[in-house]
Structure 1
């Protein structure tokens, strides 16, 4: 976030395909993937093996990626510009054997790998401070420099926090180089792919350096082709293929902007400091342009610098501490913050207390105790006596009682004063026999509810006394593409392969699925900002009318969730929703609840609504019939230490939809041949949306609520309207009416020329008919005893 706040952030930048290779190809050639995989590809392909739907390298089985197409290097060299590429883990040159060679898209180009001169521009590096790269940047770098970290540093195989640490070392070296301090240079940072589908597969993308705007954000839509188009526009290069030729260059991110106003504040710890005891001051600054320069005046004649600093006061009195921040704007902005700090000669009295969750305790279930201690001198030492012969230490501890009775819990806090202070707190807790639930006993699929559906092995999903107990533990494991879970299931599911409902498992006319639960414990991972968990009910649907296509994928199943969502310690906003592509179905989720540790909640999934919302989110017709095939309840996520949830009552609500009825009307009421008739269908009951189909009795058909039709022959016809709804199972209603079509009355008229005839001059008569039935027969009487026909 530091780079995004300080420089230019593209908030609408999307990858173009899955998995990673096609995105790297798009960046250098405007192509994306293998010709044999036309369905998921966007904008062209390369010939030869290598599957755009699997991670495979340049020398993948079945052939290697290869292309004689024009690429970015061709364009750069054609105008006399220079280039270099740095691939982490490579041995340099056109080495295609290193672990992430499938990300090295320049190595897919025949006119590069076949040229020793061009191969000499490809270099290796192995650290976050690559000497060869930094030497180039500090000694007159190439016009274009390409940098690919390996999977240990690009957040593919490692955590976000470790990747961020890597970037926080490498990027400051780049931005501080001679190239970036003396020329109009720009640094693009982006990722190959995200978790969603093009064109909404948004990835983090920033532009930094002297050519980029400061503290600038844009939601305009761009993708990897846009980055290629930007390079082409910057150097006046011809575009390569239709993808980059039609892409919008990202020119809005270049130039100058006025950074937002600079502001600052700071915190003091401890809040009430003591004489001759260290005090920590920590600043929080925003606005302006980072990095910031921080200076302090402690009010006692001492000063210091840094965003976090420790100071010791030597006398007991009140001091005014002033912090001043200067940003990196040009000209620089400054902001100050002041606060009075009262330094005591002796520490305030120590006091302590504690809370526990859940507040209703049951045998053999985990309870978490948290001490709240103030006064005295930190740090504190906390010890516990749980009243059942067990003890513990630490500010936060967990304990399990095995007997249903009352216990006196005593907590003791000791501080670091000299002499040491001690404070105690005690409460009586009542432990009850465990609640019962209605999940029954563990059952095999498809009947369910199943047990043991938990990964990794440290996790579990069991049913005890009818209570579903999901215990998920995956410390430091998983990421945005690898989720772990602890769930129970009932029915059929869309993996290996997409499956239709199993008769007799899901109740007929099921309208909603709900379950109430309690979050017993949650322990974050070593880097809480990398944690993610969902507490959810998932509904899996079969599409009986066959597979449908959207976002470059074709599936016959839907995967939808209602859930509690927590990412990096922050709950997802209620009502927020997103699509996801698990590779076997069209996924969609919605956050419907926020539930913290110790709290209980109820999740409810509306069967019909979840289907329609999922379809709509993927741009599919919302009247596509859905059949509920499977139900899953539990937790999923990654990185955190432990998430324990008890689920008590599951309800499968069935509501018979009102009977579907249909009706039809038409105008005009008297029908003639050749006349356009407007028909109107009506429907009620059942489940919307409705689908209308018509048969007009003369062999013609139509769809839609308000069709039009014209009859070519007179007669009596039966018009039939068939209406189907979105219920599962689907309802059908039929309405019909008889219409009589008649021939319009026959009418005749004629004209003659010339309009003023003379004796013995030829007169031309022209007759016309209307109505009746063609063809017409004409006969004439001229009034002078002569007749004619025609």
Structure 2
């Protein structure tokens, strides 16, 4: 019986042989492959037609493709397409949105392109990934009478890109081959970046466009010489929406200026290619996009380059990066540094060894035929050292009375180490590269930071900024919420603001600390606060993420938890009558989990399930939303419970939880228990919030409420702008910039909302390497010192190395400790080279030389020196303690042993007391 089932399964998954198509060859192509993507603005995916930094693979594909920046996903030239995703898909294959909307049921009784193809002797196949979870909405073939039961559609749970590529490799591939990815792959629920990676894996695998890897779509027989196959990447439901045509018949690097194309135009293009009759007046009236066919001349090649640091320092590496556009990629970049040396590559480092000006020339050559060449030249002055400069940032950007403000200085140039002094403008002062201060009055304060270096004479730099301190936030938390839930920390409600200050330095995956407000009835048989009103459809809470201090192995959640009572239900051997759900921000060991991540957990009294709906950094404000239907259905599905199980919302919990945390500090305000539609609002974040010059910043708008789909306009504060829910921008100058997003919904009338944040752009910090001055030593004496390094650019890992070490010398690159005891035969002068290199791309490095003059020890002198006995290894504590008599050492050793014994007894007693008072909350025993 098992063997029979396996055979049936194999037959089900096999790609059936198609009858040989007897239709005449198409006018421009014989086969078309369509991959259906979702819900992105054109600029977010393709920029202006040459690519977006968020989608590098698609950008590379555009150099060999045609695209239409003004492609209208909702209809063009007076034609209209309604019904969200479902309407766009049905319009594409039937010439009409058929008056349906998302969630429609089979079947629509109308002719389709597939019917026309069958009549014309053409073949087709359509694949929907992983069980086709969105059904008809994203896979229209199951929604029409004539195709819903066709053997040409594949929707089982085992459908993957591998099945799709197998069809493309078949001996007689279909004329039209369609693939619908899941929402976790098609940019619907995932980012542009991850969707771009998915397309790269599907189209070229680990290879490239010129050499796709085996098993990828473009390596299939359908795209080999002898086949005329066109690839169409199509996005639904946006205006303008991305679209891309690729194939030997398509113009390369072609950007259409047309403004009249929509889904009906794509349909007419397909009909026109095979001389098929049109289906409706919509596709009959639409232009068939003929301009994409043929050859095109690549746009003019242009190139420029930038240096970091912008003013090179003699004998220190400078990074040169070329930016080349136009022409045909890939590009070949060559350099002439003006000092007799040359180099190649889009980004590289070079060290100038003299104090003078150099003329640097960068030359770019493209891959077009004939080749194009462009050059860029700059005159660069090399200096001895950068002048001292300093700036600072503070978080949160909008501080309030009696809440701590963190200040961080960024100092460059001059000579390390630096001394930093602060004047907070209210009479208080502090020192150090970072400082924290709390203002007690609401007003504007002028904060000054002064940096002093270690050069001779010393250099000083000062910077000032105005810090506006507002009165405390006001919010909507009140006495209906129970807040005695913060062991080890504090929580209060002040002026309607829930202030959670969690501190859980211990704990683990089975022992969470927490700091929350609760309202309603909960699975652990507790009723607190005030009962919930009926009919809640969602819960939203605005919050300011003030600060955090994490320990190794930390984990924390900022969350809204909804607790539902259900009829007693079983999943496997587990039976509960409650659901425990969360919509949350999730951070594991310092890294935010991706939006859309889900997990189940068993707290011991309910079926637990969570979904990550937001990412946020300290210093940012955001809105967290918990949709009652989404959390109920998500939990039921995750545990395999019937989806029609009645969920009765009983309790709400808002706050933080986690373990191995020094602190997670959040102010929650404006909590809303929404009944019915939610008014439009949005959060707006930037990451990083304090970037260096030319470092990309990712801006993310997360709207709540209103009517989707939304349009987004982001103004970066430096004259630049962008669109889309997520976009990136790099600032080219140091300063404080106010970025503003405006979100507009699709209601009638439309609603709009604008939110602004401040981005503080810092100068690039150099990689510093501090080596002691030249030394003079004698044979038989230890030489011990430490090499130190620092990288002012955050997140970099620095590696130390040393060359030309004398025989017997040791250098520990992990600590920077150098030790050497020269022998009697090692007199002379030694030069040792120390190098620090970080993990940036390309790497930054700094090299310093140090000289050691070794003289012969005076006759009769100690052979071991004053700091190390006769050891051959490094002596880190040599010279730290004076020589002590043996009896003194015995006394010290005995006292130390007695102290350790007492400490052990105290520890045992403390652990016994702890075990006596320890209690366990099953609700917090989670397996996330």
Normalised to the residue count of structure 1, the TM-score between the two structures is: 0.49
Normalised to the residue count of structure 2, the TM-score between the two structures is: 0.42
